[in-house]
Structure 1
Amino acid sequence: MLQKLLVGLAAAILILVGFIASRPAEFTVKRVATLPGPSDVVFAQVNDFHQWNAWSPWAALDPDMKTTYSGPQSGVGAGYAWTGNEQVGEGRMTIEESRVPEHVRVKLEFIKPWAATNLTDFHFKPVDGGTEVTWAMSGTNDFMGKAFCLVMDMDAMVGKDFEKGLASLKGVVEAEVKKRAEAEAARVAAAKAAEEKAAAEAAVAAPVIAQPTP
């Protein structure tokens, strides 16, 4: 009886292993949102890692997370590394492609709690009402990754974070657009005031033309 149970258990394990191994290795998680701002404003928030803490869905998970920056301020070669609690783990990001203001590709390397390397792409397209942002992550699962996906829906799990991030990015973009509008209004007002002052000074300095005596 015990032998039959062991044989049955072994067979079940082999079937499960075979099923897991047959699962697709490649995966893609993608979310799309329209943000109320021009492409250059939205692009700037993604192309510079120094801006990410304002909208990243993971930044708030560990207020004590340690971060370091490397390379240029933004664009190709810019790097960002983090070490935090069990929720955020440890890893690094590097911008591999940057095409203003259309596309940013980031190499995403997880170190802890498990090692993995994925590619993250942001595409920006002008549309009515602002900029359509497509945030996608793609990669390849090893055997353990395939097994994990049997019990956890990666698209739902990561996609939920993407949705939170895009919602936060919307708020950042709205604030930046408002800031730029206020700065432009102030510039126009200052220019107008300068013109009026110059005209007034010119009028005061103009010579008085004597009127002919009748």
Structure 2
Amino acid sequence: MRILKKILIVLVIIIAIPLIVALFVQKDYAVEREIVINQPNEEVFDYVKYLKNQDNYSKWAMMDPDMKKTYKGTDGTVGFVSAWDSDNEEVGKGEQEIVKIDEGRRIDFELRFYEPFESTEPAYMTTEEVSNDQTRVAWGFSGHMDYPMNLMFLFMDFEEMIGDDLQTGLENLKSELEE
């Protein structure tokens, strides 16, 4: 009986330690990448504000050429929704909605993921004139993980994972617009 009691105490400690650690681990993350594109700001912004154009540069949009896509509304305007559905687990199912546009400067999105996990997160793209023929483009994404799932931050580098995908998308965008 004493051995069983000791085993139970050890099991409780093994379960409790990660849960206690999770209380002190961050719950939010933010990732942003940027690139300079050799085109005027107006031309760059007029391209990135249309969600359908992401098919030409977003790494996620290119991961499954067979994904089903649907659209609601007028692209390039607040309220436009671009939805996707893919059998590829890395792409999953979700939708992106334009929630705010600061013409020539910034577009804000709401990303709603349904599969392989449920989550709603904000994202944005900004453009800033560097010179008459150069534009700095930033693409950002932020997220939140509730306790105790925030323990994943100890084992996964979201800054690197998401940041690398954003950077790939920005490099594709640069190639697309500088052709």
TM over 0.5: yes
* SS in structure 1 of the partner of residue 78 of structure 2: coil
1:119 aligns with 2:122: yes
Aligned pairs (5 A) from 1:52-91: 52-84=54-86, 85-91=88-94
1:99 aligns with 2:102: yes
CA distance in 2: counterparts of 1:43 and 1:11, whole angstroms: 54
Q: Which of these two proteins has the greater Rg computed from alpha carbons?
A: 1
Choose from 141, 147, 151 the match for 2:151: 147
Alpha-carbon contact 1:45-1:52 (below 8 Å) kept? no
Name the counterpart of 1:211. Answer: none
Letter in 1 for 2:115: K
CA distance in 1: counterparts of 2:177 and 2:149, whole angstroms: 35
Normalising to structure 2: TM-score of the pair?
A: 0.91
Any unmatched runs of 5+ in structure 2?
none
Normalising to structure 1: TM-score of the pair?
A: 0.77
Q: Tell me how far 1:78 sits from its aligned partner.
A: 1.1
CA distance in 1: counterparts of 2:38 and 2:149, whole angstroms: 37
Select the structure that is richer in helix.
Answer: 1
Q: Which moved further from structure 2: 81-90 or 35-44?
A: 35-44
Select the structure that is richer in strand.
Answer: 2
Q: Which moved further from structure 2: 49-58 or 127-136?
A: 127-136
Q: Which moved further from structure 2: 138-147 or 79-88?
A: 138-147
Q: Tell me how far 1:5 sits from its aligned partner.
A: 3.2
Any unmatched runs of 5+ in structure 1?
176-214
Q: Percent identity?
A: 31
Q: Tell me how far 1:49 sits from its aligned partner.
A: 1.3
Aligned residues: 175
Aligned pairs (5 A) from 1:133-212: 133-143=137-147, 145-175=149-179
CA distance in 2: counterparts of 1:100 and 1:46, whole angstroms: 11
* SS in structure 2 of the partner of residue 143 of structure 1: coil
- After superposition, give the CA deviation of every residue in 1:2-55 in whole Å (9 maximum; x if it has no partner): 432331231122121111132122211111211111112211222111211000
CA distance in 1: counterparts of 2:149 and 2:165, whole angstroms: 19
